[in-house]
Amino acid sequence: MKFFKDFFKGFLIGSGAILPGISSGVLCVIFGIYEPLLNCILNFFKNIKQNFKFIFPFALGGLVGIVFLGNILKYLFFAYPIQIKFIFIGLILGSIPKLIKVCSSKVKFKFYYLIFTSISLLVGIFLVILEKNLVVYSSHEYNYIFLVFSGIIMSAGIIIPGVSSTLILMLLGIYEPYIDSVACLYLPFLIPLGLGIIIGSIFFMKLTKYLLDKFYTPTFFTIIGFTIGSIFVLYPRFYF
């Protein structure tokens, strides 16, 4: 039964990750598996059998979600954008009390923790405003080193909940080349970018793990702030 529950969570994460404004990190936080997955990946080779057993249903579910449900979700998001967006907003809002309860179960809740949430929420809202008002430009002057660097920076949007990978690609000027390369599987562009993503993901996962180990409660409340901030990416009438 646990396998199928984890598979279904991975299924939703994989399918939801392809939707505009949906962060895989946010969905992992909502389902309460962000920290366990982080620990599993970073310590994978310490106990390969156990870690593989833990991560396999999520990975399999994610793959199935992307392959089989991706087009359906894209259609629903296109045909019923308001309804789908509010479903995800409700999912995020409904998860916040649980996240606070889980975090406070280790350390007694103190109101000053909300300062970390407020700061990350404001940063998240600022990023949303920046993305909605950013004029997309395309730079065709890039080399392999730049693409690796771009992948490293882009990985922050993959690992940190609520941080937009789209915004990062826009700021770097490779949003359109990235979309075109994915569409036609242009490997000379995707391989160095993917290498950078792998390097950056390891770095940001280690950084996040360190912060959770040393400053668990402030870090987790910061993540909650970014998670709440992702609502403003989805809210249809949030613009400036």
DSSP string, 53-110: HHHHHHHHHHHHIIIIIHHHHHHHHHHSHHHHHHHHHHHHHHHHHHHHHHHHTTS---
Q: What is the pLDDT of residues 117-176, one digit of tens each?
A: 899 888 878 877 776 665 555 555 668 888 999 899 888 877 877 666 766 777 777 877
Q: What is the mean pLDDT of residues 84-96?
A: 77
Task: Supply the pTM of this predicted model.
Answer: 0.68
111/152 Cα distance (integer angstroms): 35
Taking every pair of C-alpha atoms in the chain, what is the biggest distance, in angstroms? 52
Please determine, for residue 239, whether its predicted confidence score (pLDDT) is greater than 60.
no
208/79 Cα distance (integer angstroms): 37
Domain boundaries of the chain, sorted by first residue: 1-79, 108-240
Average pLDDT, the chain: 79
